[in-house]
Each structure stands twice: as C-alpha cells, then as structure tokens.
Amino acid sequence: MASTEVLLVKPVEGLGGEGDQVKVRAGFARNFLLPRKIAVPLTVANRKQVEALKKRRAEREQNELNGAQEMARRLEKTSLAFAVKTGEGGKMFGAITAQDVHEKLVASGLEVDKRKIHLFNPVKTLGKHTVKIKLHAEVSVEVPFDVVSENPIEPAATEPAAPAGDKTEKRSERRPRKEARE
C-alpha cells in the first residue's frame, strides 16, 4: 500500500493537530485531506510553514485551556435545583438526566456542550447529587445539584400485615364455579 506524508493545516480527530507531519495512505490524502484543504503535501517549501502552524496551534490550545478554566470557575459557583413530582413515600416520577442538567445550565446563562456533561446514571432519588463536567482534557469540575419534591411528601400507606395464624383461603373453601352453559 502506498503512503504519503502530509502537513496538517487543521486538526483532524484521531490523526493530529495543525502543524503535525503525518504519514497517511495515499488515497486518504488524495481523496479527503487535500481536496478539503485540511492538509498540504509535505515539500521543502511547506516545511517552513511548520513553525507558524505550531505557533498558531499552541496559541489556540492555550486559549481553549484558559476558556475552560474560566468556565470551571463559573461552574463551581453555580448551584442547581430540580423540582420534581413525587408520589407516595417521596418516590420520583421520571429521572434527572444529563439533558436536564444541560437545560438548567443554559437557563442560568452558562453555555456548556451537552456532550461534556458526564452523568453516568440518571438520578432517580431526592437529595444532593453531583455531576462531572469535563471541559477540557486537563479541566473537569464537579457541579452539585439538589433534587427536591415540588409537592409535600406523603408517607407510603403500609398495609397491615396478616397475623401469622391466618392463611389465605384454600381452593376448596372458595365459592364453586358456575357450570358452563350448554
């Protein structure tokens, strides 16, 4: 299989960032990377661009890191509360999911990508919980939230237990079946 070296101009998921010299299959470079101007062929003239691309990449990554750290500071100050409907004994109807957390954050003025919210299991109980938000490879923050009932909690009605001596009625003690009509 033929391969070729190209210089990436834009970051490519799973391949590298801008300024990286990568060896890829010739067809991938010819049919995908080069027509979309994601990469350029590696020549002597293009090697001079490497330093400029690496400098631009370092600046972009630093800006992303600074933005993620700023967002983490804002998220740490945030407190979320969810009012949910409950039934007897405080049992929730439904669950709180990552989508619900995302909507609550957007409503409070914090723009967070919902794919960065890591709530592994939906929350199905009342009380205090935390959700992990991974903003950057190096920055993640845990945001606490409360799940409260929007209606007063009624204690679950418990049925009185049958005394140990009482048993359920036997088949023979039941009312006889009606005969099948002919």
Please report, in tens digits, the pLDDT of each residue of the chain (182 residues total): 789 999 888 888 889 888 888 999 999 999 999 999 999 988 877 777 777 778 888 898 899 999 999 999 999 888 899 999 888 877 888 899 999 999 999 998 888 998 999 988 999 999 999 999 998 888 899 999 999 988 776 666 555 555 555 556 566 666 666 766 65
At position 63, the amino acid (one-letter code) is N
For residue 3, what are the CA distances in angstroms to 24, 45, 58, 97, 125?
Answer: 5, 20, 28, 45, 55
Contact 102, 131 (CB under 8 A): no
pTM of the entire predicted model: 0.62
pLDDT of residue 49: 73
Report the pLDDT value the prediction gives residue 157, as an integer from 0 to 100.
58
Q: Under CATH, domain 74-149 is a member of which superfamily?
A: Ribosomal protein L9, C-terminal domain (3.10.430.100)
Looking at domain 3-68, what is its CATH homologous superfamily?
A: Ribosomal protein L9, N-terminal domain (3.40.5.10)
pLDDT at 175: 65
- Ranges in the chain annotated CATH 3.40.5.10: 3-68
What's the pLDDT score for residue 26? 93
Residue 124 and residue 69 in contact, taking contact as beta carbons nearer than 8 Å: no
Radius of gyration, CA atoms only, the chain: 31
Joined together, the tokens standing for residue 56 give 């631009």
pLDDT of residue 32: 93
- Rounded-to-integer distance, Cα 68 and Cα 135, Å: 6
For the chain, the first-to-last Cα distance in angstroms comes to: 83
For residue 52, the model assigns a pLDDT of 79
pLDDT confidence of residue 136: 87
Per-residue model confidence (pLDDT) at position 131: 92
**The pLDDT value given to residue 166:** 56
The pLDDT score that the predictor gives to residue 103 is: 93
